[in-house]
Amino acid sequence: MSLPNVNITLANGTLGQTLQTADGVCGMVLVGVSEGTIVQGTPLTVISLSDAQSKGLTQTNNPIAYKEITEFFNEAGNGATLYLLLTANTVTVDAMADQTNANGATKLLDFAAGAIRILGIMDDPGAYTPTITNGINSKVATAKTNMQTLATTYFNKQWPFRAIIAGENYSGTATALTDQTTASQNRVAILIGDTVASTNRAAIGLLLGRLSAIPVQRKVSRVKTGPLSTPAAYIVATDAAQYTTTSTIHDRGYISVRTFANKTGYYFTGDPTCTATTDDYCFVARGRVIDKAQIIAYATYVEEIDNEVLVNADGTLDAGYCKFMEQQIINQLSLIMKANNEISNVLCYVDPSQNVLATNIVNVVLKIVPVGYSSTISITLGFSDPAA
């Protein structure tokens, strides 16, 4: 047995890299082939395009993965952690999201052991003949349902994540799209738009890269963050700057790309999830905030499992114990999230009248006050006559 001591190891090699917190760790499931040390069907991690290249990735053999990885790191910066799984081009996006498919997204999520906070999936519609239903590849709708089931399963495992699905084979007719604000998949979002014209896919890497680089409470469409790193963006074959029905795509609950008058560059339109606008988690940002709070709450209270609980003579909980349980999580969320403006406030209450002797359960009510968003700014503009 070694002599008791305090051991400190100095980190080295992090200067010049993007600071990567656990909140921004992403995963992508894409189609691709084995090359170098990259094996189809085997998860891996990369921290830069050059890292992926050193493992054998080439644009020639894996054009889809190469493009998405490049755009991810253009946004996230070198040093960001990206979990990657390449599947055969016979694996469609709905199968990737199917939790019963041991070789789909579940393989990557299990490999990451809860580290992935945002997951993106996209197949290769060019490898099969897709059926277009409601203006989009019919497999996207099935993937959305499958992914919600998968995400809920991992939420129950204390490994929460949010998912982005490529809006493949968008027909270009916005009014044909299913209205996702009538759906109930609040852990899933669908992206329409790419960095190349006439594509069957979507810029999954670009979106995940931007999400990786921003704090959890920040909307991916925040203009002050700056334009996207891509020099071009398209909706089907039309430059996003000239596409005329972007607002319809947005209103129907999809993420897309846009421009602003008198500003250069491209921006995302928003971060809606596939659910009603009255849902607390109708934004990806709100989902990321609650996921982070869940992880902190679990880590805080798991230490109290099967601990002794003092009670009063009448069987009610000791006031000091209640205050201890409340203050523990308030302190953690205040220091980690409120201090960083990720939330506005945190409230916690432990009812002292609950009968823990009979149930062996301590119920904690934890509420987060989120930040608000200036999504629409209304200005009343007119002339003023100072002599009137």
Tens of pLDDT, residue by residue over 290-331, are: 999 999 999 999 888 888 898 988 888 999 999 999 999 999
Tens of pLDDT, residue by residue over 137-185, are: 999 999 999 999 999 999 999 999 999 999 999 999 999 999 999 999 9
Q: Which of 141, 26, 56, 42 is nearest to 87 (CA)?
A: 42
> Which residues, listed in sequence order, are joined to residue 311 by a DSSP beta bridge?
317
Q: Where are the domains of the chain?
A: 22-283, 306-369
> Two tokens at 215?
């704090």
Measured CA to CA, the distance from residue 138 to residue 187 in angstroms comes to 19
- Which ranges constitute the DSSP H helices of the chain? 49-54, 63-76, 93-97, 105-112, 138-156, 204-213, 246-251, 284-301, 319-336, 356-359
Identify the DSSP state of 2. Answer: P
Give 25's contacts (C-beta < 8 A, 6+ positions apart): 80, 81, 83, 112, 115, 116, 117, 118, 212
Tens of pLDDT, residue by residue over 32-83, are: 999 999 999 999 999 999 999 999 999 999 999 999 999 999 999 999 999 9
Single pTM value for the model = 0.90
Measured CA to CA, the distance from residue 211 to residue 216 in angstroms comes to 8
